[in-house]
Amino acid sequence: MYEHLLVPVDGSELSNKAVEHSIGLAKMLGAAITGVTVEPPLPVLVVEQAAVAYDVATFQDHEKRCEAHAREILQAFAAKAQAAGVHFDGQFVITDDVQQAIVDMARKQNCDLIVMATHGRHGLDALIHGSLTKSVLAHSQVPLLVVH
């Protein structure tokens, strides 16, 4: 039924639930998994009502830290997938538009199912913090399996 799963992960306990579920599902279906970690860019630095540019070394250092963090998360995911006999590919992106990065990655990698964890926020909490899962659901043409 599904041949290629996309699983966004951030290393949190909640995203680890999506890792476990996706590996079990992929093993049962004979599917492959692409794990993706989306890292934030450097925030805009504002000093006295003016945006200030970072120097090149600061950008490079941030990019190295993001890559190291993503590699750590994705290697742990890869080890679990490999132990279960599931083909795994890891990707990472630096952007502040996490929802669009997930939707774009699903399309780029030809994934036919996205597996995501959600906090299950309701009411004011959902309004304040938003819901990445709901946003992906609203913008993706790929089916979404939500792990809670």
Tens digits of residue pLDDT in 86-120: 999 999 999 999 999 999 999 999 999 999 988 65
Tens digits of residue pLDDT in 10-61: 999 989 999 999 999 999 999 999 999 999 888 766 666 666 677 788 878 9
DSSP 8-state class, residue 11: S
- Among 141, 17, 138, CA closest to 7: 17
Tens digits of residue pLDDT in 58-90: 878 989 999 999 999 999 999 999 999 999 999
Query: What average pLDDT does this structure show over 143-148?
Result: 92
pTM of the model: 0.87
Beta strands in 1-148 (DSSP E): 4-8, 32-39, 45-47, 50-52, 88-94, 113-117, 144-147
* Token pair for 138: 């609203």
Helix (H, G, I), strand (E, B) or coil at 47: strand
